[in-house]
Structure 1
Amino acid sequence: MNYEGTLMLNKKCALEYTLDILEGKWTILILRDLASGVKRFGELRHSLYPISPKTLTDRLRMLEEQRIIMRTIYSEVPLHVEYELTARGRSLEPIFEAMKIWARSQDASLKG
């Protein structure tokens, strides 16, 4: 990442590019939760406990900047914000499925 938090496009390889987008412990778990549908901030925070609000906010902003997720603000009372995967975000789902298959092949007791 560069100093502005955006990806540099002159990466050495495609895997490095992908890993830059999916960086950090929480990023893939956020995407896992959003793969099941639209979520509010509080729902994500609850399902990802013990993630801090700052870390969740930072990851959501980064994913939004990368067009992996979309944030929708509803100005009704009370104000609320919802997050969902974009088509680009959904295109990552086969990667996550491959990761689950690999993990289960290493440890049959794993679920999910």
Structure 2
Amino acid sequence: HTPCWRRLKRLEAEGVIVGRAVILDAKLLGLTVNVFANLRLKQHDEETLDALEREVCNHHEIIDCFSMSGDSDYILRVSARSIEDYEQFLKKVLLHLPGVSSINSSFALKSVKMATSLPI
């Protein structure tokens, strides 16, 4: 085996590499709308936070979810086919997430940089 292959296997064994992914072209799949939804919660108890995080993981439209400091409690990145599709997802899912008091949605105009690598 090559040195590169051995290093790759070592990094996997050490847990540095936690998985591999295929990167799909969202535009070719018709997912042309990226939305950043800033969530504020009514309460911040452990039960509410755990319930929200579990529920977020059940929806494939939510690409990323970050717990935040500052004005928002969470920021979600949602992928949708259209603004109308996002509106339906907002009404049917996001507004019913556990503990949510308000959502402020911003629509990405274009992707300038989208990295999958870490700065190592």
TM-score bucket (shorter structure): under 0.3
Larger radius of gyration: 2
Structure ranking higher in strand proportion: 2
Structure number with the bigger relative contact order (C-alpha 8 A, sep ≥ 6) is 2
Task: Give TM-score, length-normalised by structure 1.
Answer: 0.26
